Structure 1
């Protein structure tokens, strides 16, 4: 049986209040372990190219929100708006070359009615359910995530190995369908040491921007709007779809397969 590697990262606050963010996004990317090295080599080549063209050091973490809002450590580079756009475009095209799939789960906190709604736990559960559906019992998988939220994620992953209620297609009830193909506990790795977690971060932040301006009809944050506009965000998402990186079966009713809860 093949083994897949799954990487997770998020955008937004997983607290129940909307004070800091009105939605939370958990993004996963997954690939056969046998394709890991080739994927890594593609990313590494891009980072070397960016070092030669823009001085962007290959060991510098790509934290997309900070990159677009001109926070440290990116200020020292003094990139122009056009150069930043070129770097984002290069990242997007590079993701399109990788052998992987993407799932995005959005918890829209403006729709939450229960005060004890578990934002992070549900986002993880819905994401793993889609991965489990995709594997069809034909491969198992190992999950690696950024530091900071590992403890509740491990607890949730352990729980759904035993009890994972799925709404029945043939009735209004639920049936228990425990997760079978996840191996080991969820593991953590610092995002600064993982190109793949940084790719999750990149995708997750653009999903956040897309959801905000296309589906919630909000303006882009001012500091982001200094670099890119709504159409640019749309083109990034369109490229990820056209290169068939997004698992559209995660939610066939959504243009980009976004899994959005609560319904």
Structure 2
């Protein structure tokens, strides 16, 4: 069995020039039999972060706020260079935390698909279809956990998919929702999504930190069969 932890970047509404031009989903697929060991590895990493920076293990690693703190008051006690290093170490450590995991990414450029009224459900359908194909290739069942999102919309989407001509055979249950502050695994998915966002949409103020290159450190985990060769496996359509 496999668990897929999902987080998103960008707002799901149509692009109007003042909101995000993208909607991204990243799914971290973890084998169930390795879940406990992965948790122990991340917990050890968080203990090391605590010893080095003072950031408590209960504090969420929220990638965007590591760069520009907002609600995370604890971040404001840590120098920016140290916060960025936390993100670098967290992402760089993922191949060690999850050596047999896979990552599926969906990145929709809204300006390429202006006919969509909203992007959340189209992106989720592509992600779930990609996960189902992976599960079929492994002949294993899987379940999905996500940070807060449109639970009713996803439930309806899965109902439609299960009544369609090719219903999922390996994807179990509806999407389970868990707050990222309580899940190191969802926090990992958030970091993946943020790194993909920075690769696809580099920002001048972060270029000097080379955040756009962080996603490349995940290359060995990317499920490249999810999309054509040369695209890092990113589903774009």
**Fold-level match, TM-score > 0.5?**
yes
Q: Distance in 1 between matches of 2:218 and 2:5?
A: 17
> Equivalent residue for 2:114?
113
The 3-state SS of whatever aligns with 1:16 is coil
Secondary structure at the residue paired with 1:8? strand
- The answer for the alignment partner of 2:9 in structure 1 is 11
**Conserved in 2, the CA contact under 8 Å of 1:13 and 1:23?**
yes
| Partner deviation per Cα, 1:96-129 (whole Å, 9 max, x = no partner) | 111311111011111123253x411111111111
Do residues 231 (structure 1) and 210 (structure 2) align? yes
As a proportion of its length, which structure holds more helix?
Answer: 2
- 2:5·2:146 contact (CA, 8 Å) conserved in 1? yes
Q: Are 1:78 and 2:81 an aligned pair?
A: no
CA contact (8 A) 1:162 1:179 kept: no
Give the deviation of 1:75 after TM superposition.
Answer: 5.7
Match of 1:171?
none
Aligned to 1:136: 136
User: How far off its partner does 1:230 sit?
Assistant: 6.5
Contact kept? 1:9, 1:204, Cα under 8 Å:
yes
Correspondence for 1:94: 93
Deviations 1:203-253 (A, max 9, x none): 10111111113xxxxx34x3xx2xx5373421x122110xx1111111133
Compare CA radii of gyration and give the structure with the larger one.
Answer: 1
Distance 1:115 1:123 in 2: 11
SS in 2 for 1:30: strand
The question of 1:199 aligning with 2:188 is answered yes
Q: How many residue pairs align between the two structures?
A: 233
Q: 1:11 touches 1:204 (CA, 8 Å); kept in 2?
A: yes
Whether contact under 8 Å (1:42, 1:94) holds in the other structure is no
Written as runs of structure 1 = structure 2, the 5 A alignment for 1:33-52 is 33-52=32-51
TM-score, with length taken from structure 2:
0.91
The CA RMSD measured in Å over matched residues stands at 1.8
Worse-superposed segment, 63-72 or 120-129: 63-72
Q: Distance in 1 between matches of 2:224 and 2:70?
A: 33
Q: Unmatched 5+ residue regions in structure 1? A: 164-175, 214-218
How far 1:64 sits from its partner (Å)? 0.7
Asked whether the 8 Å contact 2:136–2:170 carries over to 1, the reply is: no
What are the ranges of 5 or more consecutive residues in structure 2 without an aligned counterpart?
Answer: none
What are the Cα deviations for residues 16-44 of structure 1, in whole angstroms up to 9, with x where unaligned? 23431000001111112111101111111
**Counterpart Cα distance in 2 of 1:45 and 1:191:** 18
Rounded Cα–Cα distance in structure 2 between residues aligned with 1:230 and 1:77: 18
TM-score (norm 1): 0.83
